[in-house]
A and B are shown apart, each in its own frame.
Chain A
C-alpha cells in the first residue's frame, strides 16, 4: 500500500518540519524539499506505468505517435513545472514560483504552435484566394 507509505512520510516530515522551523528554518526547507522529491519519485514509477500503457494502446490501435508524444510532453512539462514551483513557494519565494509556472505555460504553448500552424495553413488553403 503505497498510499499509506506516502501519507506516513508526509505526516512525519510535517511534524519534523514544524519542530525544525523554530530552531533552523533552513533545514526545515531542505527537509520539505527532500520530502517532496521523495514523494515525486514514488509517483514517477506509477506515472510511467500509466504512460507506457497508453503508449501500448495507441500503438496497437494504429494512432499516430506524434499526437501521443505531444500529449506526454504536456504532462511532463506541467508536472516538472508544478513540482519546482511548489518547492520554491515553500521557501517563501512566491515570485520565482510564479515565474516557473509561467515558463511551464509558455513551453506548453510552444507545443501548440506547430499544430496551430498546420490547422491555419489548411484553413487558408480551403478558402478561395
Chain B
C-alpha cells in the first residue's frame, strides 16, 4: 500500500510544480512548449507503475535517456574512447603489477623447495637459492612463467659461516640461525686484541688467505656444486647454463 501513497504524493507534487512553473515562465510564446513538457512529465508520473512493471524504474529510465540524449548532442565519442582507453591501460598496469608480484611469490616458493631438496640430497644446510622467473611467449597471449636463472650460494666448510648470515633471510631459516651467531664472536675478538684476531678475521672473511682456503676447499666445493647442479637439472629439468653455483666464501670477496 505504501507504493500507492508514494505514487499519489508524486503526482500531486508534479502537478503543483507544473502549475508553479507555468507562473514562473517569462513569456506567452514559450508557455505552450513548456506546458507540453510539463504535461508529459505528469503523464509519465501517472504511468510510472506501468513503466516500472514493464521496463524498470521510470525515473532511472528517464535519467538514462537524458544522459544518452546529452551524449548524442555533444558527440563526446572521442572523449569516451579516450576514457575507455585510459581505463583499459590502468587495468593492464594493475594486471602487470599483480603478475609481477605473483611471479616474485612463485620464485620465492620455488627457491624454498630447491633449498629443501639441496639440503635433503647433499646434506648441505643453509644453501641460499635465488630464483628468477620471467614470463615467456607473451606475444601469443598465452604467457607461461619459466625459470630464467637459479643462483645457488653454497656454504663453504669453514668460511661459509659469515657468508650465510645474509643468506638466511632467503628462506632456510632453520639452518642459518645458529651459524649467524659466529660473526658476532669474530667482532668481539677484533675489539679485544689488535693484530692476531684481525688476521683470523681476514682468513675467515677470505681476503688474502682466502685464496689458499678456497684452494683447499675447491675439491669438495666443486663436487658439491656438481651434485647440486645435477640435482636441480634432474628435478626441475633446467638448462645447466641457467644454474649458477656460488661459493659462500668466494661470494664474500
Contacts and interface: CB of A to CB of B under 8 A. Distances in A.
Interface of A: 47, 50, 54, 57-58, 61-71, 74-75, 78-79, 81-83, 101, 104-105, 108-119, 121-122, 125-126
Contact of B30 (A66, A105, A117, A122): A105
Given A110-B69, A118-B65, A122-B47, A71 B55 contact: no
A115 B44 CA distance: 7
A57 B10 CA distance: 12
Contacts of B61: 118
B192 interface: no
Instruction: Determine the main DSSP class of A at the interface with B.
Output: helix
A71 B63 contact: no
Interface of B: 6, 9-10, 13-14, 17-18, 20-21, 24-27, 29-30, 33-34, 36-38, 40-41, 43-45, 47, 50-51, 54-55, 58-59, 61-63, 65-66, 68-69, 73
Given A119-B43, A122-B51, 6 more contacts: A63-B10, A63-B13, A64-B59, A78-B34, A118-B58, A118-B61
Nearest to B63: A66
Contact of B55 (A108, A111, A114, A122): A122
B25 A75 contact: yes
7 contacts: A62-B10, A64-B62, A66-B62, A67-B45, A74-B34, A78-B30, A82-B27
A63 B93 CA distance: 43
Contacts of B13: 57-58, 61, 63
A125 B54 CA distance: 7
Contacts of A126: 50, 54
Contacts of B47: 119, 122
A115 B40 contact: yes
A111 to B, nearest CB: 6
A108 B34 contact: yes
Contact of B69 (A50, A69, A104, A114): A114
Nearest to B27: A82
Given A61-B9, A63-B13, A71-B18, A78 B25 contact: yes
Contacts of A81: 30
A61 to B, nearest CB: 6
Contacts of A47: 24
